[in-house]
Amino acid sequence: MRRFLFLLMLPILACSGLNTPFPSTPTFDPVTETSAPPTAIPETPTPTPIPFTATPTIPPDASIFPSPEAYTWQLFVAGLQRPVDLQADGSGRLFVIEKVGRIRIIQDGQLLLTSFLDITDRVDNSGNEMGLLGLAFHPDYAQNGFFYVNYTGSGGNTFISRFQSDGDAANPNSETILLTIDQPYPNHNGGVLAFGPDGYLYAGLGDGGSRGDPLDNGQNTDSLLGKVLRIDVNNGDPYAIPADNPFGNEVWAYGLRNPWRMSFDRQTGDLYIADVGQDVWEEVDFLPAGSPGGANFGWNFREGAHDYQGTAPAGLVDPVAEYSHAEGGCSVTGGYVYRGAMTEWNGIYLFGDYCTGFIWGLINSDGGWQKQLLFDVDVPITSFGQDEAGEIYLLSDIGNIYRLVRE
């Protein structure tokens, strides 16, 4: 157990915390990359395809990292209660999940007072890793008003549900429960939802909790825990299983401990998955667009690319990036591939660590991967978000949202 973590821990963590208060005025410091790691924190019918944003001329992906000294994370919105997800609906608005069970709207840079959805009456937020955890808008949301959430509810179990909205409000009584998944322990619930370029809904589920995956859920393809699920919400009642899912059930990929945020590159369709480690290693996994189902990311045979227990089978998919707790981390928070107006960042995947506030970049070029530590921020990073223009946001457990901008 790591005993340097914050008292208010995000649902991705299973560690005890310190009583150190968060600073009231965070600072955001660029990092000059050195050979030594940092040691201290500065202050069936074809589903509807997703209409990925296109531009008349697509800038090339970056081959080198921009100098982080020229950029900062600018305060965008404050006053939220434990925000854990940020999504765009196609209207220019942003929607933020508060873990307690509410979804709030940001419109024209302002946080609206009235909640878009309030389901605190059915969300079980009693454990630190429980609550309202994920949100995804249907690709045809503007026409059908459908959106999907992942939360822990009655009995501490996972619920993946569809709701319907009209304008600035969703009807809490419109819930259609798609999946209920028994959770044996109160931690490692995962919670992320995302529509893929194939129009299917993907869901990240943790291994069910405790320590070391004692029930071996991660490697059991008959269990929905420790997996990426893939379902067709446009067919079936309440959904259909795609014919090319590899095991004849909802499972698309397996061998995950606790995927805390996954995202598709809106330009390429590549999938990035951040998987929280046990004691030593945090990892980022990657599936290129068009990959078949059945990828095994290794947990609990391996933590990151390193042996954890037992004899690993052949064919495991290694992470494309990892970092150790000795480098100053404790729990990875997955992010997004930048596709905004600052073209020097184009194609760079940004991700961070909850405890330290470190933010790294990843570049995929010529079949190889470059990783660089770019920023130290003195806030606990609960999530990242991306708007319709491809700009990147950072969500913090202190209730603030920040946006990456030039100085």
Q: Is the model's pLDDT at 38 over the cut of 90? A: no
In sequence order, the 6+-apart residues with CB closer than 8 A to the CB of 321 are: 283, 284, 351, 360, 362, 369, 371
Q: Could you tell me whether strands 271-275 and 281-287 are parallel, antiparallel, or unpaired per DSSP bridges?
A: antiparallel
Nearest alpha carbon to residue 234 among 273, 206, 199: 199
pLDDT per residue as tens digits for the range 171-188: 999 999 999 999 999 999
Per-residue pLDDT at 128: 86
Whose tokens are 């970056």? That residue is: 62
Q: Is the model's pLDDT at 355 over the cut of 80? A: yes
pLDDT per residue as tens digits for the range 303-332: 999 999 999 999 999 999 999 999 879 999
Residue 326 sits at φ, ψ, to 5 deg, of -65, -25
Mean pLDDT in residue range 122-140: 96
Whether domain 31-406 has CATH 2.120.10.30: the reply is yes
Per-residue pLDDT at 232: 98
| Stronger pLDDT, 150 or 41, i.e. the higher one | 150
Q: 31-40, 155-164, 218-227, 258-267: which has the minimum mean pLDDT?
A: 31-40
pLDDT per residue as tens digits for the range 183-217: 999 999 999 999 999 999 999 999 999 999 999 99
b/e per residue 67-99 (b: at least 16 CB within 10 A): ebeebbbeebbeebebbbbbbbbeeebbbbbbb
- pLDDT cut 70: percent of the chain above it: 86
Q: 217-231, 252-266, 359-373: which has the minimum mean pLDDT?
A: 359-373
Q: 9-13, 156-160, 182-186: which has the minimum mean pLDDT?
A: 9-13
Per-residue pLDDT at 166: 86
Confidence of residue 51 (pLDDT cuts 50, 70, 90): low
As a whole number of angstroms, the distance between CA 389 and CA 340 comes to: 6
Q: Is the model's pLDDT at 276 over the cut of 50? A: yes
Q: Is the model's pLDDT at 39 over the cut of 50? A: no
Global pTM reads 0.89
Per-residue pLDDT at 48: 53
- 3-class secondary-structure state, position 3: coil
Local structure of residue 10 (DSSP, 8 states): -
Q: Is the model's pLDDT at 359 over the cut of 80? A: yes
Structure tokens that stand for 385 in this block:
């978000």
Mean pLDDT in residue range 16-45: 42
